[in-house]
Every structure is written in C-alpha cells, then in structure tokens.
Structure 1
C-alpha cells in the first residue's frame, strides 16, 4: 500500500486508500486467474518478453523463461519497452448515467483506470492522466516512480461530470501534447459525432501512437431492460422523447449492436484496439485486452 497521507489532505486520504485497495484487488485477482487460464505462463514477470520469431538472433533467447514455460522468449530491449501511457477519461454528462448498477459509467472508468495505473506503475512504465469534456481539463504528467500512483489516484477521486463533450477536439489537443510515442488508453461512452471522432483517432494513430479504447456503456444501454412507457432523455442536451418500451426495444438493441460492430470494424482497419464493455462486466476482460495488446505490440 502506497503511503498516500503525505501527498493528500486528510479528508481525501481515506478515499484514495479505498481506490488504491480496489485497484490492487482487481489486478491481483486478475493475475491469479491468469495462471489458471489458457494464458498460463504469461504474467507481469514475462511482460518484458516477447515470443521468439524467425529471424531473431538465438543468442538473445532467455533460457530462464524457457525453463519456466517450455516456450522460447526473447527479452525486449529497453527501447522496445519504453512506452509512455496516458489514461484519458471522458467527463461528459452522459458518463454519469446508471440504471440498476452500483457504478455509473464514470465510476466504472475510474476503477478500471486505477487498476491499469497500478499495473503500469508496478511494471515501471511511465503513466499519466488527462481528463476532458469540451476540452482537456485536469492532467498529471506521466512518470514511472511509485509516487505516481497516489498522484493519479488523488485526481481520480475528484473527478465529476461536467456537461457536453467535444471528443474530437479534445483528442486533437491531446495529440498536440504528446512529444514521444505513447499509449493512449481512452475511457468513454463514445457518444459524440462519429465521423469527427474517428478522424481524430485515426490522426492520433497515424502520428505513431498506440490506442486502446475502453468503450464503457451502462448495462441498460446495451440490454434495454425497460417496460411500459418510458421517457428517454439526452443527458447532455436535456431533450426528452416518450416511447413505448415494447415497440422500441428490438430496434434499439439492433442499433446499439450495429454501432459497436461498426466501431470495431473502423478501429480494426486503423489498428486501434477496441474493448466494448458495460458496467455489469468484471474488469478481467479489459485487463486481458491491455496485457495482450502490450505483449503483441512489438
């Protein structure tokens, strides 16, 4: 447990401790489950390795890794592993939504971001934080030292939704900030203009940055569990529309599935990693995508 009291006001320390503890529990539980999964043998211990491929120099084989796994690994050079991470969190009003889950989309994103921050700090990877609505807001510059964890957790506990969002404009601002090749981990419901959002993400990718998108929706936004007459409200504009749930349910589910499928196709073509999530799902799926992306990046 990182000693957070020296960095925070006393009234924030308890909140940070709870978030820190939750992040540790998520990561440790995930790593324990990993050993019983088809990915047995791959853990933080081997995150600095990649599988041997034809053309690699056999002199670079790690025989200790081979003895433990029975597979051929090559330890990455420092230049291959020095990738700076940015946790980028959407603070738009729509992220405050929840129907029957305990966590809003923002709460879920904060917990997942905390777990990823904990994991990156443990692996000595530089990690920073940016938040945005219509523009970039709070930011913590990336660092790899252990004091980075409480610095980022301090910001995460203070986050609140703000209003409307300009995802494309915020990503353009972020791209202008990045001086070196970086890994951008985006947490958003992606409820923004689709064309401009895709264009800004492609530009970020074409600039040489790696991107993982954690597309966080509320469980009700995916399953549409409503009954009777319901009043649908746009959380950012306040506009409402009454609908009969039985009439809208099938069409809505098809539309949300088509939205996710379309995004998955667009991101795949741009070599952007896409992780569709909803707030009923455990964090294991997102952490697995992060680790697999990190392992296969080079």
Structure 2
C-alpha cells in the first residue's frame, strides 16, 4: 500500500502563491488535523490534582503504583485541565531570515507561527506574538479573544526582516515580561554563538516556562547545492566572498552539522524540545509529526 499523497496546497512553493497569511495558516492546520479524531493539543495542559480510591470502570493507566506499593490499595491520580494555556510565539525577524526568494526562511517561519496560533486558538488557548531582532519589534500579549487572531495575522503580514539577531538582550527582557508560566515557542535560524544562545534560552527555563525551539533553515543552507562560481553576500554583515562552491562543500556541510548538533545539545541540556525545520518540507508534515509526538510523550508521562 502506498502512502497517501499530501494535498498540493501544502507544498511550500504552492503556499507561497497564497498571499493571505490567514488563509495559508488555515489550510496548513486543516491539512494537519484532517483524518485525526481530535487536535494534538487536546489534554496538553494537564496538572496533577489529587488521589481518590480506585472504583470499577476507572482507567487502570491512572493508578498510582507507588502509592499501591506502600499501602497495598489502589488509588487513582486525578488530573485537572488548564483551559487557558498561554503560549508566546517568538519570531526572529533579522536579516538572515530573508534568505531566499520567493519562499524565504521568514515566510516559512511566519506561516508556521500563524499556523500554530490558529491551532491554539481553535483550542481556545491564549496565544501571543513577539517579533525580535536586536530588540523587540512587536509584542502582542497572549489572549484567547476571537478577534485576537486577526490582529496576530495582520502584524505577521506586515513584519519585514531587518538588522541582526541579539538574543542576549531580548530574551532576558522577555523572560521578565512573560510573568505567567506557559509555553514559549521560538522560530529562528539561531545564527548566534552557542554560549549566548544557551544563556538566553535558560532565562525562560528559570521561570518554569516550557520551551520549544523550531530552528528554521533553508534547504540551500543544509545541502549547499551550488555548482558554478558564486558570489556570496552576508545578510547581517557587510561581507562577500566570490568562490568555487564545490571546493568548499565538504567543509561547509561539516561545519553546519557541527553547529546543528551544538544547538541540539544546548536545547537537550536545558530540557528544551528541539525541531529542525527545512523550508522544503510541507509545514503540516513538520508540525504534525512534532505535535503528534508531543501528545504521545504527554500520554506516556500520565501513565507513569
């Protein structure tokens, strides 16, 4: 049996022809949710509340076996759902995110951010947006109001990548401003040095936020497909290099893999979830694979 084909409108090149960001986001989310019985965020924000004695018909997966080992009696863990999970989406709008046209890293990241915002609002969760480079360019606090999504989409559509990235200044400031514990989702190429990135991300974890890092990379950056003599220009620095790419490919790819591995380890050591996003991949597949995995992890945690 062959795998079902994804709808063509979810291909990044096709999505680029859909100019309205709210329409893109809706199509991505509908493509992801189609065929699923419920949203992957269902039951995501769950906290332990209390114990009660087991009764026939209760789900045995919720039995607290540690209590049983001490008392020889079956008790059920009861959970209460937070209906107002708060999510803040951090979107890198530095110049390096401009690469390349027509479907840039920024277009891809902004569409992913819009799709996630749409998905969360469908769950009646609160979602906010922070666009940043060397400083916060736009900060829209989290809200679950029905009209809030329109505001987010409008601001996302009007953002223009500019300047450099400086997470060392931006993230500590944001960590203080986002006072209520919640979910922080970062979309960025993470073009900064590793120690700075590590310390900046740690600011959110110190305040008990859950953090998800989506590292957005263009396929060219990951595969270096250039063949002929090429002039490379810096997007965030005024530098350029005219060279024969084939002579650089192996060392370039080794350095990129080393950088990605350092980012992965940095996130893992801080208890931060990490996902690499390639701009060639359909957005619903990327989001769907990750969010479904996250749901399975949450269910596994509840069993234990």
Q: Same fold (TM over 0.5)?
A: yes
How does 1:1-298 map onto structure 2 within 5 Å? 18-33=20-35, 35=36, 43-44=38-39, 47-48=42-43, 76-79=79-82, 82-98=84-100, 102-283=102-283, 284-290=285-291, 292-293=293-294, 296=297
Partner secondary structure for residue 111 of structure 1: helix
Runs of 4+ in 1 over 2 A off after TM superposition: 15-18, 55-63, 71-76, 290-298
Contact kept, 8 Å, 2:41 with 2:295, in 1: the verdict is no
Tell me: CA distance 1:151–1:59, structure 2 relative to 1, closer, same or farther (3 Å).
farther
Q: Relative to structure 2, which stretch is displaced further, 17-26 or 252-261?
A: 17-26
- For residue 75 of structure 1, report the CA deviation from its aligned partner: 8.1
How far did 1:32 drift? 1.8
TM-score, normalized by length of structure 2?
0.78
Query: What is the Cα deviation at residue 57 of structure 1?
Result: 5.1
SS at match of 1:172: helix
Aligned pairs, number: 267
Answer whether contact 1:93 1:164 (CA < 8 A) is retained.
yes
Partner residue in 1 for 2:67:
none
- Cα distance, 1:296 vs structure 2: 3.9
Contact 2:128/2:142 (8 A) holds in 1: yes
Deviation at 1:163, TM superposition (A): 1.1
Structure 1: gaps (5+ residues): 1-14, 36-40
What TM-score do the two structures reach when normalised by structure 1?
0.80
Larger Rg: 2
Partner Cα separation in structure 2 for residue 50 and residue 151 of structure 1: 25
Distance verdict in 2 for CA 1:112–1:226, change over 3 Å:
same
How far apart, in 1, do the equivalents of 2:292 and 2:203 lie? 24
* Pair 60,94 (structure 1): closer, same or farther in 2 beyond 3 Å: farther
Q: Distance in 2 between matches of 1:61 and 1:184?
A: 40
| Residues 60 and 75, structure 1, Cα contact 8 Å, conserved in 2 | no
